[in-house]
Amino acid sequence: MSEERRLEVLRAIVEDYVTTREPVGSRVLTERHRLGVSPATIRNDMATLEEEGYIAQPHTSAGRVPTDAGYRLFVDRLAEVRPLTVPQKRAIETFLSEAVDLDDVVVRAGRLIAQLTGQVAVVQYPSLRRSGLRHLELVPVAEDRLLVVVITDTGRVEQRFCEVPAGADGATVLDEATLAELRARFNAAAAGKRLAELPVAFTAVVEAVGPSVAGVAGAVADLVVDTLGQEGEERIVLAGTANLARSESTFEQGLSPVLEALEEQVVLLGLLTEMSTDGVGVRIGHENRLDGLTEASVVVSDYGSGGDPVASLGSIGPTRMDYPGTIASVHAVARYLSRVLPG
Amino acid sequence: MSEERRLEVLRAIVEDYVTTREPVGSRVLTERHRLGVSPATIRNDMATLEEEGYIAQPHTSAGRVPTDAGYRLFVDRLAEVRPLTVPQKRAIETFLSEAVDLDDVVVRAGRLIAQLTGQVAVVQYPSLRRSGLRHLELVPVAEDRLLVVVITDTGRVEQRFCEVPAGADGATVLDEATLAELRARFNAAAAGKRLAELPVAFTAVVEAVGPSVAGVAGAVADLVVDTLGQEGEERIVLAGTANLARSESTFEQGLSPVLEALEEQVVLLGLLTEMSTDGVGVRIGHENRLDGLTEASVVVSDYGSGGDPVASLGSIGPTRMDYPGTIASVHAVARYLSRVLPG
DNA sequence: GGATGGCACTCAGCGATCGAGAGTGCTAAG
DNA sequence: CTTAGCACTCTCGATCGCTGAGTGCCATCC
């Protein structure tokens, strides 16, 4: 009983089960795949595969179904990359290039993945923490309030209101000239810098300005450093939730746990960053520690302008998913997305 | 057979069916509600109600179920407003007041409605078209590109990139002084104005500036007017999708059509604005022309700072929903939201 | 030793049958 | 107009037996 053929059998089982959604038996296996041996032989192989934990049968006298371990082996050693078709590639390219701003890019990427995979798509906005600062704008909105607009080199724009402490003499210091000075100083200090370097650069600014505006400068500096550093500020969008309902029957526990997990954006975000790796990462079924996703698999890739990853995107579907196809789609969208991002 | 009692029977049927989720028969009706008559009498009433189209039976020898028309009658004439409990009110108030920015307010409002109603929540961002302009900011990001940041009086911030036409002599005109002038002029012209007044005000600005910067000014003016005017720029967020799965069995056609309808943000937006009315609007089942929502009901209220509505929010659930409760929740959140909005 | 054919065994799924129970509509009487 | 009584209908759940798919094992063959 060659190991090689046994793996071939596993591959056949996975592929068949993914397309038919039904437990696959030894007979159909020999019919649909040129394995060159009889059903009886296959049965022996299947028995071994079951012992090894790669497949299981839902009940006696049913065919076999891959286990999480089986899928894992499949993606690690058996799956061949299946490149997208030319029309698909073109669709991605044109659809993404039509986007008018970052929001648009992100939702379009989501739609694309949802469409290509027929599953749920997750797209994380470019992480503030991993972006550089392109520009900082200060806008007075009231006597003692300032709107601080932060523009990152990935095109993301965040705004925060900033309470301005009164000057030493109790008077506000928000005249246009002061603002212009602060604006210029901050931007000069931050130009092209990564987030990690901002605290230092900004402290220098705060120290350099006159004591009358140091309070304002400090407040702004703190706000910016906080904003860019807060994990809570990461954002993600979903697409293709309706696709879940289509594969509803696949989830033994029903859709609720999955939908609930998807609504927990913080947790989802944790999953994305945790999975973030070079290339495409795959989590299968119970490999996800998240309760709601034990019947689901997650395929994630990071993306970013140039070489540096700034965020992740991916696709979530039933463990019984088309791994090669999903991986290819996620990978392709991530790559094109990296290309169209400003940077 | 008094008309009055018949309506009372209808109310009883609706209320029972909403809580039990099961067709309700004449016997339980007399047991659970003090109608003061025998089951036989109720049966006569029910026969009439059925003729009139307010109730129906799924099959012979099952209880009755309200039809869309039945719910409609219930909502219009039978439902009593059920005020929220004090803890609920307090929860709304504190949860909304903890929001740090507009995004946060909107998602929190969504969560609240989802939580209170146990259904899906829809919250529209303050409409750009119905907002006033608070501030306009111009930020140079490249030789020939300008980032235009628009801040509305509802706290919404939108940004667009603007290609800057070269000056008459072919040189770019994006020095800081020019920008400062433009910024000042635009803001002076727009101060406190509604969108409808912007085109005129901005044309005046474009004409007032020197010919060398008229091109830039015109480009910016067009961009702003377009951005604020575009219907496509309206945004909405969803919350509580997972709640759908819980009432999954209620949807004969399954969740797919509903989820699909919810993903069509443009269509959903159309529904919201179409339903926008004074107070709370209700669409029941087939009253929604949208295919996916024929088994669902939509409860919508508009909200806005001061008297002017700037957008809508609502809740979507199965036709068999708790109308008084849903209406109360939507109404309450809309009111509190109006209060915390800047303006 | 691995591959194979044969064979007995197991068990989910399907359809048919049946009875109980819920609920109705009708009729006749109060 | 209301009500009690009654016959009738139909869903739902349980039971049962069958069929067919699929397996595991054993003896055999290369």
Q: Give per-residue pLDDT as tens, A183-219.
A: 888 888 887 787 778 888 888 888 888 887 888 888 8
| Higher pLDDT among residues A212 and A315, named by residue | A315
Q: Mean of the per-residue pLDDT values for chain A?
A: 89
B237-248 per-residue burial string, b: 16 or more CB within 10 A, e: under 16: bbbbbbbbbbbb
Helix axes B86-97, B323-340, angle to 10 degrees: 40
pLDDT > 70? residue A173: no
Domain with residue B46: its CATH number is 1.10.10.10
Residue B58 CA to its chain's centroid (Å) = 33
What global pTM score does this model have?
0.89
Same structural domain for residues B217 and B251? no
Residue at a domain's end among A167, A197, A228: A228
A249 CB burial (10 A radius; 0-12, 13-18, 19+)? exposed
Neighbours of A305 (CB within 10 A): 19
Minimum CA–CA partner of B260 in chain A:
A242
Q: How far is the CA of A45 from the C1' of C4 (A)?
A: 14
C-beta of residue B160 within 8 angstroms of C-beta of residue A101:
yes
pLDDT > 80? residue A313: yes
Strand C bases within 7 angstroms of protein beta carbons: 2-6, 9-12, 21-27
The alpha carbon of residue B42 is apart from the nearest alpha carbon of chain A, in Å, by 39
| Higher pLDDT among residues A151 and B121, named by residue | B121
The per-residue pLDDT for B211 is: 81
Domain with residue A96: its CATH number is 3.30.450.40
The per-residue pLDDT for B343 is: 56
Same structural domain for residues A13 and A72? yes
Same structural domain for residues B181 and B241? no
- Whether chain B has a CB inside 8 Å of the CB on A253: the answer is no
> Vertex B40, ends B35 and B43: CA angle to 5°?
85
Domain encompassing residue B256: 86-126+234-340
β-bridge partners, B314 = B122, B300
pLDDT > 90? residue B75: yes
- Whether chain B has a CB inside 8 Å of the CB on A157: the answer is yes
Answer whether B147 sits within 8 Å of A161, measured CB to CB.
no
- Whether chain A has a CB inside 8 Å of the CB on B188: the answer is no
Same structural domain for residues A152 and A208? yes
Residue at a domain's end among B178, B206, B228: B228
β-bridge partners, A150 = A136, A158
C-beta of residue A54 within 8 angstroms of C-beta of residue A297:
no
The per-residue pLDDT for B238 is: 95
Answer whether B262 sits within 8 Å of A248, measured CB to CB.
no
Task: Please spell the DSSP secondary structure of B286-313, one letter per residue.
Answer: GGS-SGGGTTEEEEEEEE-STTS--EEE
Q: Give per-residue pLDDT as tens, B227-282.
A: 777 766 788 999 999 999 888 888 888 899 999 999 998 899 999 999 988 889 99
Q: How far is the CA of B323 from the C1' of C20 (A)?
A: 36
Residues 6+ apart with CB under 8 A from A130: A195, A304, A308, A309, A310, A311
How many contacts does A have with B, using Cβ atoms within 8 A? 80
Q: Give per-residue pLDDT as tens, B170-181.
A: 556 677 788 888
Same structural domain for residues A118 and A208? no
Among the listed ranges A170-179, A227-236, B122-131, B333-342, which one has the minimum average pLDDT value? A170-179
**What is d(CA B203, CA B218) in angstroms, rounded to the nearest whole number?**
8
- Whether chain A has a CB inside 8 Å of the CB on B244: the answer is yes
Minimum CA–CA partner of A146 in chain B:
B135
Nearest to A101 among B151, B160, B263 (CB): B160
Same structural domain for residues A122 and A136? no
Q: How far is the CA of A43 from the C1' of C6 (A)?
A: 15
- The closest alpha carbon to A277, from A261, A301, A260, belongs to A301
Residue at a domain's end among A175, A196, A228: A228
Query: How many domains, in total, are found in chain A?
Result: 3
And the tokens for B261? 């309808």
Q: Give per-residue pLDDT as tens, B50-68.
A: 999 999 999 988 999 999 9
Q: How far is the CA of A2 from the C1' of C3 (A)?
A: 12
Same structural domain for residues B205 and B166? yes
Same structural domain for residues A93 and A182? no
3-class state of residue B71 by DSSP: helix
User: For chain B, what percent of residues have pLDDT higher than 90?
Assistant: 53
The alpha carbon of residue A278 is apart from the nearest alpha carbon of chain B, in Å, by 31
Strand D bases within 7 angstroms of protein beta carbons: 1-5, 8-11, 20-26
C-beta of residue A163 within 8 angstroms of C-beta of residue A216:
no
A38-51 per-residue burial string, b: 16 or more CB within 10 A, e: under 16: eeebbbebbeebee
Contacts of B255 in chain A (CB under 8 A): 242, 245, 248, 255
Same structural domain for residues B326 and B256? yes
Same structural domain for residues A264 and A319? yes
Q: How far lies A156's CA from each of A101, A136, A150, A224, B105, in Å?
A: 9, 12, 8, 14, 20
Contacts of A135 in chain B (CB under 8 A): 139, 141, 147
Domain with residue A178: its CATH number is 3.30.390.60
- Whether chain B has a CB inside 8 Å of the CB on A246: the answer is yes
The per-residue pLDDT for A195 is: 75
Same structural domain for residues B290 and B260? yes
Same structural domain for residues B241 and B117? yes
The per-residue pLDDT for B229 is: 74
Among the listed ranges A159-163, A237-241, B38-42, B217-221, which one has the minimum average pLDDT value? A159-163
